[in-house]
Chain A
Amino acid sequence: GAGVSQSPSNKVTEKGKDVELRCDPISGHTALYWYRQSLGQGLEFLIYFQGNSAPDKSGLPSDRFSAERTGGSVSTLTIQRTQQEDSAVYLCASKGPAGGDYNEQFFGPGTRLTVL
């Protein structure tokens, strides 16, 4: 079946503008994660949604970042008043129903955000 999809694949914006990044998880996956990866760096956890539970927002770097997940499926990551340091690849991952700690996270191809 289809994997995790993300849109847009590339986004160039001007400093101070708002951006929205979209993630479509694998159908039936209850967990959804957002990460970001700066050039040459590891993945930085941003936020985690699990079913109808309150999301874990502990990784969001500032209040300019927010995310929502509608209907337990599609998720949108919003960055307000973008700054140049927000430039990175934003990766979404989804994970199947609870079945143990070894369930694999499947990643989307990412959105490459460039803030000029």
Chain B
Amino acid sequence: RKEVEQDPGPFNVPEGATVAFNCTYSNSASQSFFWYRQDCRKEPKLLMSVYSSGNEDGRFTAQLNRASQYISLLIRDSKLSDSATYLCVVNLSGGYNKLIFGAGTRLAVHP
């Protein structure tokens, strides 16, 4: 079983749609969680961290369920510029600082 699993997609949605991505992780000792965004042929960039209480940044909402070892990302009012691959990332127990990346979920927003 992969340490971090994501639906590869692609998710093809119209502008303005709401789309949700899910991610599961296998190591219960995981301590911190992130969503990174990667544009085609570019390096990954941090989109947002995922906190236990859930957090929101504009149109983006991230949630964490430690009991189910599950992370989600919700994008509201999708824009064409949201088209990218979204990487779910997990950091093992504190201080270890080794990020485990999921293979990513591809999103394509069309007019």
For chain B, the count of residues having a C-beta within 8 Å of the partner chain is: 22
Question: A105–B46 contact, CB under 8 A?
Answer: yes
Whether A109 touches B43, Cβ cut-off 8 Å, given contacts A101-B31, A101-B91, is yes
Bound Cα distance A35, B103 (Å): 13
Bound Cα distance A109, B91 (Å): 22
- Nearest residue (CB) in B for A58 is B98
Whether A108 touches B43, Cβ cut-off 8 Å, given contacts A41-B103, A42-B103, is yes
Question: Is there a chain A Cβ closer than 8 Å to B1's Cβ?
Answer: no
Question: A43–B101 contact, CB under 8 A?
Answer: yes
- In-complex Cβ contact of A45 among B94, B98, B102 (8 A): B98
Which residues of B are found within 8 Å of A45, using beta-carbon distances? 98-101
Question: Is there a chain B Cβ closer than 8 Å to A13's Cβ?
Answer: no
Task: Point out residues on B near A: beta carbons under 8 Å.
Answer: 4, 31-32, 34, 42-46, 49, 87, 91, 94-95, 97-104
Nearest 4 pairs of A and B residues by beta carbon: A42-B103, A101-B32, A107-B43, A43-B101
